[in-house]
Amino acid sequence: MKKSHMLFIGAVSLSMAALPAATPVFEEGFTQAQEGALLKDSAGWSVHNGAGSAQATVSAGFAGLGARVTGNEQFRLLIPEDKAISLTSGGGGELRLKLRVMADNDGYTLTQVLLGQSDGVHGVSVRFNGGTHDGFSDNSIQVSTGGESWGKAAWETLPDSGWKRETWYEVVIAITASDEATVTIREADSGTALVDQHRAGVIGSLGKFTQLNTIIIGNGGTARAFDFDDISLSQL
């Protein structure tokens, strides 16, 4: 188990008490990857959009190997069928991952994470928006509020959510069977919450949202370097 980051116990204990982690049914920590391997060649991963140049590397990991994306590209992780979470049996699911933006200039960053169904329609998404200038003063977190499909999502910009580059954040997206969702984002080392269980809207106005089996992660506009690691999907 590749965890070596030191946590500030006082701050984390309060945060964890408010948002306990469920037992994962699926995990991706790049423990089987080789240094320099292309992400698109790893089990379960494929290119959603763009060239697909992201690599697994130690320098991109929270502890051990992680994935570094530098181009204007997005990647899809398909959850194995026996690990997918049903939304029709009275439960829900929760995605957790760690992410940090590493761009020299964070202006125009639009790094996006989506948890959803492999139909290209349904899901819940969060974006790290870098504003138009470098520095965290105009940075913000955006959460989905609805929309017709993944490519036609509507967004809410959250106040006082000025994330900082080169800082690891834990991103938590929780979706219930009733199509309600919340987003939490906190600093991974200190546990300080940037966004605390903020209600998000489910994307998808056509068909039915019946399962969680897909994760999309990548840049939604300008190419900006970011790292991610420690993906887990849990039944709620």
Establish if 90 belongs to a structural domain: yes
Establish if 147 belongs to a structural domain: yes
Establish if 105 belongs to a structural domain: yes
How do the pLDDT tens digits run along the chain, 236 residues long? 444 443 322 333 333 334 567 799 999 999 999 999 999 999 999 999 999 999 999 999 999 999 999 999 999 999 999 999 999 988 899 999 999 999 999 999 999 999 999 999 999 999 999 999 999 999 999 999 999 999 999 999 999 999 999 999 999 999 998 889 999 999 999 999 999 999 999 999 999 999 999 999 999 989 999 999 999 999 99
What residues pair up with 97 in beta bridges, in sequence order?
Answer: 171
Establish if 3 belongs to a structural domain: no
Give the per-residue pLDDT at 20.
61
Establish if 1 belongs to a structural domain: no
Q: What one-letter code names the amino acid at 107? A: G
CA 30 to CA 227: how far, in whole Å?
12
Establish if 2 belongs to a structural domain: no
Establish if 4 belongs to a structural domain: no
Q: Secondary structure of the chain in the HEC alphabet?
A: CCCCCCCCHHHHHHHHHHCCCCCEEEEECCCCCCCCCEHHHCCCEEEEECCCCCEEEHHHCCCCCEEEECCCCEEEEECCCCCCEECCCCCCEEEEEEEEECCCCCCCCEEEEEEECCCCCCEEEEEEECCCCCCHHHCEEEEEEEECCHHHEEEEECCCCCCCCCCCEEEEEEECCCCCEEEEEEECCCCCEEEEEEEEECECCCCCCCEECEEEEEECCCCCCEEEEEEEEEEC
Tally of domains in the chain = 1
Q: What one-letter code names the amino acid at 108? A: Y
CA 84 to CA 195: how far, in whole Å?
26
> Residue 139 sits in which domain range?
9-16+24-235
Strands 226-235 and 66-69: antiparallel
CA 151 to CA 148: how far, in whole Å?
8
Structure tokens at 3: 């965890």
CA 226 to CA 81: how far, in whole Å?
29
Give the per-residue pLDDT at 106.
97
Name 43's Cβ contacts closer than 8 Å, sequence gap at least 6: 32
- CATH number of the domain that residue 100 is part of: 2.60.120.200
